[in-house]
Amino acid sequence: MSIFLWSLLKERLPCSLLVKNRIPNVSPDYQFCRERETLRHAFFDCPRASLIWFHSPTNLRSTFLQGASAMDCRVELTEFLLKHNVGEELIQTTAFICWGIWKCRNLLLFNGQQQSFLEVLSLANSFQGIFLSKLLLLPLRHLYTWLPLLMLGSPSVACAQSKF
């Protein structure tokens, strides 16, 4: 999870558009919707990602995010949640939803398996539960390395029921 989050923060996850720069015969299209696959598109702009976010505990309408990149959107989301004092668990949930979106994208790309938005959310939720139960078993010094990654900086505009 930490490598995934670091790669997301640094915009280094191998989306089709980035891979195409190194391997010219790779299609830049996203498997779910046939739009250009950027990280922002895969995590927030794709109609499938929008459906996942809307039905998640955040009730996010991801089309309202203003960030230019996936990281900008993630920071914007975290700042918004912090501003509305929703609690760390919901902020952490957003990291696991991103992981679930990426995991299911890879299942389709490499195994031809498509999952519903409910399966993505269920996967993210179960992984978060497993992760948090294991986190409680770690010595305290290890918690300080994981918690900032799960918080992922801080996001601003887009999420609460008051706007949506």
Q: pLDDT by residue (tens digit) across 107-155?
A: 998 899 999 999 999 999 999 998 888 777 666 555 545 555 555 444 3
Task: Give pLDDT, residue 87.
Answer: 74
Q: Is residue 46 part of a domain?
A: yes
Q: Is residue 163 part of a domain?
A: no
Task: Give pLDDT, residue 123.
Answer: 93
Q: Is residue 61 part of a domain?
A: yes
Task: Give pLDDT, residue 158.
Answer: 38
Q: Is residue 98 part of a domain?
A: yes
Q: Is residue 164 part of a domain?
A: no
Q: What is the residue range of 52's domain? A: 2-151
Task: Give pLDDT, residue 156.
Answer: 37
Task: Give pLDDT, residue 163.
Answer: 37
- Three-state secondary structure of the chain: CHHHHHHHHCCCCCCHHHHHHHCCCCCCECCCCCCECCHHHHHHHCHHHHHHHHHCCCCCCHHHCCCCCHHHHHHHHHHHHHHCCCCHHHHHHHHHHHHHHHHHHHHHHHHCCCCCHHHHHHHHHHHHHHHHHHHCCCCHHHHHHHHHHHHCCCCCCCCCCCCC
Task: Give pLDDT, residue 150.
Answer: 54
Q: Is residue 45 part of a domain?
A: yes
pLDDT under 70: residue ranges of the chain: 17-18, 20, 137-164
The overall pTM is greater than 0.85: no
Q: Is residue 161 part of a domain?
A: no
Query: How many structural domains is the chain composed of?
Result: 1
